Structure 1
């Protein structure tokens, strides 16, 4: 079955008041890169969490993603979130330092022969210490343990500025651009108004025609 695609017209397009826009880069790899074995120092370990507690999941999700306006897991209902992260073909992993949750990795195998790397992130206090590479190596090992032909993900211009380069160095290759618009999660109350100060916060009444 074919899917009709709509394309953003050339030139500038207005964004609806109260919304934000980002350019999304879609990336994929179609061969097992035979990544190095992941190595975590000290008390750091990567645990798979089956049927995660929704409150704990969202707490870690916010802690990692608020700075980059992650919102997708905040705007859906508890029932919808539980049906996703509790699915037998969705694997949620939490990176822990002792009893402290410091990272999240989520793999979605629900499409035949494919895996989507849905989320990969670290909390601010451990970013830049080399854990990202070890976490990516663990991601690649676990994803390609399954009988897949493609591993894919997307990142956007709201994400960490080094994210795209990191994915490219990890062996992913871009194959498409998309433009995403969404109600600003800071204005809907899903994230605090102080989140992501690098992204301008424009109240609807500030917008001028």
Structure 2
């Protein structure tokens, strides 16, 4: 399958267009590096979007990845339940949003825009930051690029690559987890 990869950036805090703050959502910095937490979010968020490159990693590989200097995990919680996350990686004046997304049941509730707003604000607070960037692709959620652009990110590069494994089912939380309507809040 041919996949289009779009790179987007902001070059100043003034570029950020904040999203509405939804009720009952908290965004929290996970200050203790945890391979288990990173893997939980990676597989739970990325399962429907073909995030497979780290699925087979050992605990030691995850530990090395999360312990890198400048890496931060931020988690969104809805009514105390993990709803999504973002991983920031700061290096040489740039902050990459390496991973970003929501667990399937929380897509479409306005949580993603708020989470992105908060992590972009944090990225601009890191001393020396002169650019915040990320990439998304046509395998990601159908509203991913729109959310980034709505928050003030501007495309600066587009690539295409063949991904033969994109037609195969992906891992957890389980294939098709986002195919049912989310339950109504109690």
TM-score of the superposed pair, with normalisation by structure 1 = 0.71
1:178 matched to which residue of 2? 159
**What SS is found at the alignment partner of 1:142?**
helix
Q: What is the distance in 1 between the residues matched to 2:2 and 2:63?
A: 27
Of 67, 72, 77, which aligns to 2:53?
A: 72
Aligned equivalent of 1:5: none
Cα distance in 1 for partners of 2:31, 2:163 equals 30
Q: Which residue of 2 aligns with 1:41?
A: 23
Tell whether the 8 Å contact from 2:10 to 2:131 is kept in structure 1 after alignment.
Answer: yes
Q: Deviations along 1:160-182, whole A, 9 cap, x unmatched?
A: 11111221121111111223445
Report deviation, 1:103.
0.7
Count how many residue pairs are aligned between Structure 1 and Structure 2: 174
1:26 counterpart residue number: 7
**CA RMSD across the alignment:** 2.7
Give the one of 100, 118, 130 matched to 2:110: 130
CA contact (8 A) 1:31 1:150 kept: yes
Give yes or no for the alignment of 1:93 onto 2:74. Answer: yes
CA deviation after TM superposition for structure 1 residue 57, in Å: 2.4
2:95 to 100, 107, 115: 115
* Deviation >6 Å, runs of 4+: none
Q: Which TM-score applies when normalising by structure 2? A: 0.79
Aligned-residue offset at 1:158: 0.3
When Rg is computed on C-alpha atoms for both structures, the one with the higher figure is 1
Q: Is the 8 A contact 1:51 1:86 kept in 2?
A: no
Q: Distance in 1 between matches of 2:48 and 2:74?
A: 21
Runs of 5+ consecutive residues of structure 2 not aligned to the other structure: 178-186
Unmatched 5+ residue regions in structure 1?
1-19, 198-209
Does structure 1 retain, via aligned residues, the 8 Å contact 2:19–2:151?
A: no
Q: CA deviation at 1:59?
A: 2.1
Task: Please identify which structure carries the higher helix content.
Answer: 2
Q: Partner residue of 1:161?
A: 142
